[in-house]
Amino acid sequence: MTSETAVVARPKPGRRRRSVPGGGGLWRYLLIRFLLIIPTVFILVTLVFFLMRSTGDPITAALGGRLSGPQLAERIAAAGYDRPLMVQYLEYLGQILRADFGRTISDNRPVTEVLFTYGAATLELAFYALVVAFIVGIPLGMLAAYFRDRAPDAFLRVFAILCYATPVFFAGLILKLVFAVGLKVLPVAGRASTGAELQIQFLPNKTGIYLIDAIATGNQAVVNDVLLHAVLPGVTLGLLTAGVFLRLVRTNLIGTLGTDYVDSARSRGVSELRLVRTHAYRPALIPIITVMGLQIALLLGGAVLTETTFEWKGLGFQLAQYLQARDFVAVQGIVVLLAVVVALTNFLVDVIAAIIDPRVRY
Protein backbone atom coordinates (compact mmCIF):
# COMPACT_ATOMS: atom_id res chain seq x y z
CA MET A 1 0.00 0.00 0.00
CA THR A 2 2.84 2.36 -0.68
CA SER A 3 2.60 5.76 -2.15
CA GLU A 4 -0.60 7.05 -0.69
CA THR A 5 1.45 9.72 0.99
CA ALA A 6 3.30 10.18 -2.24
CA VAL A 7 0.35 12.07 -3.60
CA VAL A 8 0.69 14.73 -1.00
CA ALA A 9 3.94 14.41 0.81
CA ARG A 10 6.17 13.83 -2.14
CA PRO A 11 8.67 16.67 -2.52
CA LYS A 12 7.11 18.95 -5.07
CA PRO A 13 9.69 19.05 -7.80
CA GLY A 14 10.04 15.44 -8.85
CA ARG A 15 13.50 14.46 -7.81
CA ARG A 16 14.76 13.13 -11.07
CA ARG A 17 12.61 15.15 -13.34
CA ARG A 18 14.03 18.52 -12.47
CA SER A 19 17.56 17.49 -13.11
CA VAL A 20 16.66 16.76 -16.68
CA PRO A 21 18.78 18.99 -18.85
CA GLY A 22 17.21 20.78 -21.76
CA GLY A 23 18.17 20.34 -25.37
CA GLY A 24 20.27 17.43 -26.57
CA GLY A 25 20.59 16.02 -23.04
CA LEU A 26 17.39 14.01 -23.47
CA TRP A 27 19.08 10.89 -24.81
CA ARG A 28 21.77 11.11 -22.21
CA TYR A 29 19.11 11.43 -19.52
CA LEU A 30 17.17 8.45 -20.83
CA LEU A 31 20.34 6.38 -20.95
CA ILE A 32 21.26 7.25 -17.37
CA ARG A 33 17.71 6.62 -16.28
CA PHE A 34 17.83 3.24 -18.00
CA LEU A 35 21.10 2.30 -16.35
CA LEU A 36 19.56 3.18 -12.98
CA ILE A 37 17.29 0.14 -13.34
CA ILE A 38 20.27 -2.13 -12.70
CA PRO A 39 21.19 -0.93 -9.20
CA THR A 40 17.50 -0.69 -8.29
CA VAL A 41 16.85 -4.33 -9.13
CA PHE A 42 20.18 -5.36 -7.63
CA ILE A 43 19.38 -3.66 -4.33
CA LEU A 44 15.97 -5.31 -4.11
CA VAL A 45 17.26 -8.75 -5.04
CA THR A 46 20.00 -8.47 -2.43
CA LEU A 47 17.59 -7.22 0.21
CA VAL A 48 15.08 -9.97 -0.44
CA PHE A 49 17.75 -12.69 -0.59
CA PHE A 50 19.33 -11.86 2.73
CA LEU A 51 16.05 -11.19 4.49
CA MET A 52 14.59 -14.50 3.43
CA ARG A 53 17.74 -16.39 4.35
CA SER A 54 18.11 -14.74 7.71
CA THR A 55 15.71 -17.27 9.26
CA GLY A 56 17.52 -20.27 7.89
CA ASP A 57 17.47 -22.38 4.78
CA PRO A 58 14.31 -22.81 2.65
CA ILE A 59 14.15 -26.56 3.02
CA THR A 60 13.91 -26.53 6.79
CA ALA A 61 11.27 -23.81 6.52
CA ALA A 62 9.13 -25.78 4.08
CA LEU A 63 9.61 -29.35 5.20
CA GLY A 64 10.82 -28.83 8.75
CA GLY A 65 8.16 -30.80 10.58
CA ARG A 66 7.71 -33.48 7.96
CA LEU A 67 11.16 -34.97 7.49
CA SER A 68 13.55 -36.42 10.01
CA GLY A 69 16.81 -34.67 10.86
CA PRO A 70 19.13 -36.75 8.61
CA GLN A 71 16.71 -36.63 5.68
CA LEU A 72 16.50 -32.89 6.04
CA ALA A 73 20.27 -32.53 6.18
CA GLU A 74 20.59 -34.66 3.09
CA ARG A 75 18.12 -32.50 1.16
CA ILE A 76 19.86 -29.34 2.35
CA ALA A 77 23.25 -30.60 1.25
CA ALA A 78 21.87 -31.69 -2.11
CA ALA A 79 20.46 -28.23 -2.78
CA GLY A 80 23.72 -26.63 -1.64
CA TYR A 81 22.11 -24.68 1.19
CA ASP A 82 24.86 -25.77 3.59
CA ARG A 83 27.51 -23.65 1.86
CA PRO A 84 28.46 -20.17 3.06
CA LEU A 85 25.72 -17.62 2.47
CA MET A 86 27.90 -15.38 0.30
CA VAL A 87 28.65 -18.26 -2.08
CA GLN A 88 24.96 -19.02 -2.36
CA TYR A 89 24.23 -15.32 -2.92
CA LEU A 90 26.71 -15.00 -5.76
CA GLU A 91 25.40 -18.19 -7.29
CA TYR A 92 21.85 -16.88 -7.02
CA LEU A 93 22.83 -13.65 -8.77
CA GLY A 94 24.38 -15.69 -11.57
CA GLN A 95 21.20 -17.77 -11.88
CA ILE A 96 19.03 -14.67 -12.06
CA LEU A 97 21.17 -13.27 -14.85
CA ARG A 98 20.40 -16.45 -16.76
CA ALA A 99 16.69 -15.99 -15.87
CA ASP A 100 16.83 -19.17 -13.79
CA PHE A 101 15.10 -18.92 -10.44
CA GLY A 102 15.53 -22.52 -9.32
CA ARG A 103 12.76 -25.02 -8.51
CA THR A 104 9.95 -24.63 -6.04
CA ILE A 105 10.21 -26.82 -2.98
CA SER A 106 6.53 -27.53 -2.37
CA ASP A 107 5.57 -28.75 -5.84
CA ASN A 108 9.01 -29.02 -7.47
CA ARG A 109 8.32 -26.90 -10.55
CA PRO A 110 10.77 -24.51 -12.20
CA VAL A 111 10.07 -21.07 -10.74
CA THR A 112 10.47 -19.52 -14.19
CA GLU A 113 7.56 -21.62 -15.43
CA VAL A 114 5.45 -20.52 -12.46
CA LEU A 115 6.24 -16.91 -13.23
CA PHE A 116 5.21 -17.20 -16.87
CA THR A 117 2.03 -19.16 -16.22
CA TYR A 118 0.68 -16.97 -13.47
CA GLY A 119 2.26 -13.70 -14.60
CA ALA A 120 -0.15 -13.55 -17.54
CA ALA A 121 -3.13 -13.73 -15.21
CA THR A 122 -1.80 -10.94 -13.02
CA LEU A 123 -1.05 -8.84 -16.09
CA GLU A 124 -4.64 -9.31 -17.24
CA LEU A 125 -6.02 -8.30 -13.84
CA ALA A 126 -3.72 -5.26 -13.66
CA PHE A 127 -4.89 -4.20 -17.10
CA TYR A 128 -8.58 -4.35 -16.12
CA ALA A 129 -7.81 -2.47 -12.93
CA LEU A 130 -5.95 0.26 -14.77
CA VAL A 131 -8.82 0.68 -17.21
CA VAL A 132 -11.22 1.13 -14.31
CA ALA A 133 -8.79 3.47 -12.53
CA PHE A 134 -8.35 5.70 -15.56
CA ILE A 135 -12.04 5.82 -16.44
CA VAL A 136 -13.08 6.59 -12.89
CA GLY A 137 -10.13 8.47 -11.44
CA ILE A 138 -9.17 11.05 -14.02
CA PRO A 139 -12.54 12.56 -15.00
CA LEU A 140 -13.68 12.59 -11.39
CA GLY A 141 -10.42 14.23 -10.35
CA MET A 142 -11.01 16.97 -12.92
CA LEU A 143 -14.55 17.38 -11.69
CA ALA A 144 -13.40 17.68 -8.10
CA ALA A 145 -10.86 20.35 -9.06
CA TYR A 146 -13.50 22.21 -11.05
CA PHE A 147 -15.93 22.22 -8.10
CA ARG A 148 -13.21 22.68 -5.51
CA ASP A 149 -14.40 23.33 -1.97
CA ARG A 150 -18.02 22.96 -2.99
CA ALA A 151 -20.33 20.05 -2.26
CA PRO A 152 -19.45 17.84 -5.29
CA ASP A 153 -15.78 18.20 -4.42
CA ALA A 154 -16.31 17.17 -0.81
CA PHE A 155 -18.35 14.19 -1.95
CA LEU A 156 -15.72 13.09 -4.46
CA ARG A 157 -12.93 13.47 -1.94
CA VAL A 158 -14.69 11.33 0.62
CA PHE A 159 -15.30 8.81 -2.15
CA ALA A 160 -11.59 8.85 -2.98
CA ILE A 161 -10.59 8.39 0.63
CA LEU A 162 -13.09 5.57 0.99
CA CYS A 163 -11.61 3.86 -2.05
CA TYR A 164 -8.26 4.00 -0.39
CA ALA A 165 -9.39 3.34 3.18
CA THR A 166 -11.19 0.14 2.24
CA PRO A 167 -8.72 -2.72 2.17
CA VAL A 168 -9.04 -4.38 -1.23
CA PHE A 169 -9.88 -7.73 0.30
CA PHE A 170 -12.72 -6.20 2.26
CA ALA A 171 -14.02 -4.31 -0.77
CA GLY A 172 -13.83 -7.58 -2.65
CA LEU A 173 -15.73 -9.45 0.05
CA ILE A 174 -18.47 -6.84 0.14
CA LEU A 175 -18.83 -6.76 -3.65
CA LYS A 176 -18.97 -10.53 -3.62
CA LEU A 177 -21.59 -10.52 -0.90
CA VAL A 178 -23.76 -8.10 -2.82
CA PHE A 179 -23.34 -9.06 -6.47
CA ALA A 180 -22.42 -12.73 -6.32
CA VAL A 181 -24.13 -14.05 -3.20
CA GLY A 182 -27.01 -11.58 -2.87
CA LEU A 183 -27.98 -10.59 -6.39
CA LYS A 184 -26.36 -13.60 -8.03
CA VAL A 185 -25.53 -11.62 -11.17
CA LEU A 186 -21.78 -12.19 -11.16
CA PRO A 187 -19.59 -15.22 -10.44
CA VAL A 188 -18.14 -15.60 -6.97
CA ALA A 189 -14.53 -16.33 -7.85
CA GLY A 190 -12.09 -17.69 -10.40
CA ARG A 191 -11.11 -16.49 -13.85
CA ALA A 192 -13.68 -18.52 -15.78
CA SER A 193 -16.27 -21.22 -15.14
CA THR A 194 -15.15 -24.83 -15.50
CA GLY A 195 -16.57 -25.25 -19.01
CA ALA A 196 -14.89 -22.16 -20.35
CA GLU A 197 -11.69 -23.04 -18.53
CA LEU A 198 -11.60 -26.41 -20.32
CA GLN A 199 -12.11 -24.86 -23.74
CA ILE A 200 -9.27 -22.46 -23.09
CA GLN A 201 -6.97 -25.22 -21.80
CA PHE A 202 -7.34 -27.11 -25.08
CA LEU A 203 -6.23 -24.19 -27.23
CA PRO A 204 -3.00 -24.88 -29.14
CA ASN A 205 -1.11 -21.60 -28.46
CA LYS A 206 -2.34 -20.23 -25.20
CA THR A 207 -1.21 -16.76 -24.16
CA GLY A 208 -2.40 -17.23 -20.60
CA ILE A 209 -4.34 -14.01 -20.94
CA TYR A 210 -7.86 -15.38 -20.82
CA LEU A 211 -9.53 -12.58 -22.72
CA ILE A 212 -7.28 -13.13 -25.74
CA ASP A 213 -7.56 -16.90 -25.42
CA ALA A 214 -11.33 -16.69 -25.14
CA ILE A 215 -11.50 -14.65 -28.31
CA ALA A 216 -9.25 -17.24 -29.94
CA THR A 217 -11.73 -20.00 -29.12
CA GLY A 218 -14.21 -18.13 -31.29
CA ASN A 219 -16.94 -18.91 -28.78
CA GLN A 220 -18.94 -15.86 -27.69
CA ALA A 221 -20.17 -17.59 -24.54
CA VAL A 222 -16.60 -18.17 -23.39
CA VAL A 223 -15.69 -14.51 -23.97
CA ASN A 224 -18.73 -13.40 -21.98
CA ASP A 225 -17.92 -15.83 -19.22
CA VAL A 226 -14.34 -14.57 -18.97
CA LEU A 227 -15.45 -10.94 -18.97
CA LEU A 228 -18.08 -11.56 -16.28
CA HIS A 229 -15.47 -13.17 -14.08
CA ALA A 230 -13.21 -10.14 -14.57
CA VAL A 231 -15.76 -7.55 -13.42
CA LEU A 232 -15.52 -7.88 -9.64
CA PRO A 233 -11.74 -8.33 -9.35
CA GLY A 234 -11.16 -5.57 -11.91
CA VAL A 235 -13.47 -3.14 -10.14
CA THR A 236 -12.10 -4.03 -6.70
CA LEU A 237 -8.49 -3.43 -7.61
CA GLY A 238 -9.39 -0.59 -9.99
CA LEU A 239 -11.25 1.41 -7.35
CA LEU A 240 -8.26 1.29 -5.01
CA THR A 241 -6.09 2.85 -7.69
CA ALA A 242 -8.89 5.14 -8.90
CA GLY A 243 -9.08 6.75 -5.46
CA VAL A 244 -5.39 7.56 -5.63
CA PHE A 245 -5.64 8.84 -9.20
CA LEU A 246 -8.61 11.03 -8.30
CA ARG A 247 -6.72 12.73 -5.49
CA LEU A 248 -3.60 12.99 -7.59
CA VAL A 249 -5.40 14.68 -10.46
CA ARG A 250 -7.33 16.95 -8.14
CA THR A 251 -4.34 18.14 -6.11
CA ASN A 252 -2.14 18.77 -9.14
CA LEU A 253 -4.93 20.48 -11.05
CA ILE A 254 -5.63 22.81 -8.16
CA GLY A 255 -1.93 23.56 -8.10
CA THR A 256 -1.77 24.49 -11.77
CA LEU A 257 -5.14 26.26 -11.64
CA GLY A 258 -3.53 28.77 -9.30
CA THR A 259 -0.68 29.59 -11.66
CA ASP A 260 -0.23 32.81 -13.56
CA TYR A 261 -0.63 31.17 -16.93
CA VAL A 262 -4.09 29.91 -16.10
CA ASP A 263 -5.01 33.37 -14.85
CA SER A 264 -3.55 34.74 -18.03
CA ALA A 265 -5.68 32.39 -20.15
CA ARG A 266 -8.68 33.36 -18.04
CA SER A 267 -7.92 37.01 -18.75
CA ARG A 268 -8.21 36.18 -22.45
CA GLY A 269 -11.73 34.89 -21.98
CA VAL A 270 -11.09 31.13 -22.04
CA SER A 271 -13.98 29.28 -20.40
CA GLU A 272 -13.57 27.77 -16.93
CA LEU A 273 -14.17 24.22 -18.08
CA ARG A 274 -11.55 24.59 -20.78
CA LEU A 275 -9.14 26.07 -18.25
CA VAL A 276 -9.45 22.92 -16.18
CA ARG A 277 -9.52 20.46 -19.06
CA THR A 278 -6.71 21.90 -21.15
CA HIS A 279 -4.72 24.77 -19.70
CA ALA A 280 -4.34 23.33 -16.22
CA TYR A 281 -4.52 19.63 -17.02
CA ARG A 282 -1.74 19.40 -19.57
CA PRO A 283 1.01 20.91 -17.38
CA ALA A 284 -0.33 18.95 -14.40
CA LEU A 285 -0.01 15.77 -16.43
CA ILE A 286 3.76 15.62 -16.06
CA PRO A 287 3.81 15.23 -12.26
CA ILE A 288 0.65 13.14 -12.45
CA ILE A 289 2.26 10.62 -14.78
CA THR A 290 5.38 10.41 -12.65
CA VAL A 291 3.40 9.63 -9.53
CA MET A 292 1.09 7.27 -11.41
CA GLY A 293 4.18 5.26 -12.22
CA LEU A 294 4.81 4.80 -8.53
CA GLN A 295 1.27 3.46 -8.16
CA ILE A 296 2.34 0.31 -9.96
CA ALA A 297 3.62 -0.78 -6.58
CA LEU A 298 0.24 -0.12 -4.98
CA LEU A 299 -1.43 -1.98 -7.81
CA LEU A 300 0.80 -5.05 -7.45
CA GLY A 301 0.43 -5.10 -3.67
CA GLY A 302 -3.32 -4.83 -4.17
CA ALA A 303 -3.23 -7.57 -6.79
CA VAL A 304 -1.83 -10.04 -4.26
CA LEU A 305 -4.80 -9.40 -1.98
CA THR A 306 -7.41 -9.19 -4.73
CA GLU A 307 -6.30 -12.46 -6.29
CA THR A 308 -6.48 -14.19 -2.94
CA THR A 309 -9.97 -12.84 -2.37
CA PHE A 310 -11.27 -13.91 -5.76
CA GLU A 311 -9.15 -17.03 -6.23
CA TRP A 312 -7.81 -15.39 -9.36
CA LYS A 313 -4.96 -17.75 -10.14
CA GLY A 314 -2.25 -15.20 -10.73
CA LEU A 315 1.12 -14.47 -9.16
CA GLY A 316 -0.47 -12.94 -6.08
CA PHE A 317 -2.72 -15.89 -5.42
CA GLN A 318 0.19 -18.21 -6.00
CA LEU A 319 2.39 -16.10 -3.75
CA ALA A 320 -0.10 -16.46 -0.93
CA GLN A 321 -0.16 -20.23 -1.49
CA TYR A 322 3.62 -20.49 -1.43
CA LEU A 323 3.70 -18.33 1.65
CA GLN A 324 1.34 -20.73 3.40
CA ALA A 325 3.59 -23.60 2.34
CA ARG A 326 6.69 -21.68 3.47
CA ASP A 327 8.14 -22.26 0.00
CA PHE A 328 10.61 -19.42 0.12
CA VAL A 329 12.37 -20.25 -3.13
CA ALA A 330 9.15 -19.62 -5.00
CA VAL A 331 8.37 -16.54 -2.92
CA GLN A 332 11.79 -15.13 -3.64
CA GLY A 333 11.39 -15.73 -7.37
CA ILE A 334 8.03 -13.99 -7.49
CA VAL A 335 9.26 -11.04 -5.46
CA VAL A 336 12.29 -10.59 -7.71
CA LEU A 337 10.11 -10.66 -10.82
CA LEU A 338 7.84 -8.01 -9.33
CA ALA A 339 10.90 -5.89 -8.51
CA VAL A 340 11.97 -6.03 -12.15
CA VAL A 341 8.47 -5.12 -13.29
CA VAL A 342 8.34 -2.16 -10.92
CA ALA A 343 11.75 -0.86 -11.99
CA LEU A 344 10.88 -1.18 -15.67
CA THR A 345 7.52 0.52 -15.27
CA ASN A 346 9.04 3.43 -13.40
CA PHE A 347 11.61 3.82 -16.14
CA LEU A 348 8.94 3.81 -18.85
CA VAL A 349 6.88 6.33 -16.95
CA ASP A 350 9.86 8.64 -16.57
CA VAL A 351 10.50 8.33 -20.30
CA ILE A 352 6.91 9.23 -21.11
CA ALA A 353 6.95 12.15 -18.70
CA ALA A 354 10.20 13.42 -20.22
CA ILE A 355 8.84 13.10 -23.72
CA ILE A 356 5.61 14.99 -23.14
CA ASP A 357 7.46 17.85 -21.44
CA PRO A 358 8.46 20.32 -24.15
CA ARG A 359 11.10 21.83 -21.88
CA VAL A 360 12.90 18.52 -22.11
CA ARG A 361 12.01 17.63 -25.65
CA TYR A 362 13.44 20.81 -27.17
Partner 1 sequence: MNEEPEDCVLDITDLRVTFATDGGDVRAVDGLSVRVAPGEIVAIVGESGSGKSVTAKAILGLVPETATTSGSIRLRSRDRSRTTEIVNASRSTLRALRGEDVAMVFQEPSTALNPVFTVGWQIAEGIRAHDRVGRREAMRRAIQILGRVGIPDPETRARHYPHQFSGGQKQRVIIAMALVLNPGLIVADEPTTALDVTVQAEILELLRGCRDEFQTAIVLITHNMGVVADLADRVVVMFDGKVVEQASTVELFRAPEAEYTKRLLASVPRIGQGRDVAAARAVSRAAETVTVVPAVQAQDLVIEYPGRFGRAPFRAVDTVSFQIAPGEILGLVGESGSGKTTIGRAIAGLSPVSQGSLKVLGHEMRGIREREFRPARVEIGFVFQDPATSFNPLLTIAECVAEPLIVHSRAGDARAARPAVNELLEAVQLPRSFGDRYPHELSGGQRQRASLARALALNPSLLIADEPTSALDVSVQSKVLELFTELQRELKFAALIISHDLAVVDLIADRIAVLYRGRLVEEGTGAEVLASPRDPYTQRLLASLPVPDPVQQRIRREALRGLLDGAR
Partner 2 sequence: MRRIPILAQMRASVGLQRSMLLIGLVLTSVYVLTAIFAPLIAPYGFAQLRSDGVPFGAQQAPSATHLWGTTVGGYDVLSRVIWGAQTAILTVIVSVVLAIFAGIFLGLVSGYFGGWLDRILVLVCDAVYAFPSLLLAIVMSIALSGGQSSLWGGILAASISITVVFIPQYFRVIRAETVRIKSEAYIESAQVIGTRAPRIMARHVLRNATRTLPLILTLNSSEALLTLAGLGFLGFGIEPTAAAEWGYDLNKAISDVTSGIWWTSVYPGLAIVLTVLGITLVGESLNDLADPRLRGRRAAADGVPQAPATPASDVQVVSAGKEQEVVN
Site for partner 2 in 210-269 (CB under 8 A): 251, 254-255, 258
Q: Please, is 65 exposed, middle or buried when counting C-beta atoms within 10 Å of its C-beta (0-12, 13-18, 19+)?
A: exposed
Is residue 184 a contact point for partner 1 (CB under 8 A)? no
CB of 261 to partner 1, least distance (A): 4
Q: Which does 274 bind (CB under 5 to 8 A by kind): partner 2, partner 1, none?
A: partner 1
- Footprint on residues 142-171 left by partner 2 (CB under 8 A): 148-151, 153-154, 157-158, 161-162, 164-167, 169-170
User: Rounded to whole angstroms, what are the CA distances from 134 to 153, 245, 337?
Assistant: 18, 8, 25
Q: How far is the CB of 298 from partner 2 (least distance, A)?
A: 7
Q: By CB neighbour count within 10 A (0-12 exposed, 13-18 middle, 19+ buried), where does 237 fall?
A: buried
Residue 337 or 349: which CB sits closer to partner 1?
349
Q: Which of 326, 329, 357, 360 contacts partner 2 by CB under 8 A?
A: 326
Residue 76, CA distances (Å) to 48, 57, 72, 93 in order = 20, 8, 6, 19
Beta bridge partners of 110: 103
Q: Does 339 bind partner 2 (CB under 8 A)?
A: yes
CB of 309 to partner 2, least distance (A): 7
To partner 1, the closest distance from the beta carbon of 342 in angstroms equals: 25
Q: Residue 335: name the closest of 37, 42, 3, 48 by CA.
A: 48
Q: Is 16 in the site for partner 1 (CB under 8 A)?
A: no
Stretch of 210-218, 229-237, 283-291, 336-344 contacting partner 1, by CB under 8 A: 283-291
State in angstroms the smallest separation of the CB of 21 from partner 1: 5
Provide the CB-side half-sphere exposure for 358 (13 A, CA): 2
- Between residues 114 and 288, which has the closer beta carbon with respect to partner 1? 288
Alpha-carbon distance of 47 to 255, in angstroms, equals 37
Q: Report the alpha-carbon angle 313-318-323, nearest 5.
A: 155
User: Which residues from 31-90 bind partner 2, rule CB under 8 A?
Assistant: 36, 39-41, 43-44, 47-48, 51-52, 54-56, 61
Buried b / exposed e across 268-304, counting CB within 10 Å, b at 16+?
Answer: eeeeeeebbeebbbebbbbbbbbbbbbbbbbbbbbbb
Residue 107: closest CA among 311, 327, 336: 327
> Which of 120/262 has CB closer to partner 1?
262
Q: Shortest Cβ distance from residue 68 to partner 2 (Å)?
A: 20
- Point out which residues bind partner 1 (CB under 8 A): 19, 21-22, 25, 28-29, 32, 259-272, 274, 279, 282-283, 285-286, 356-359, 362
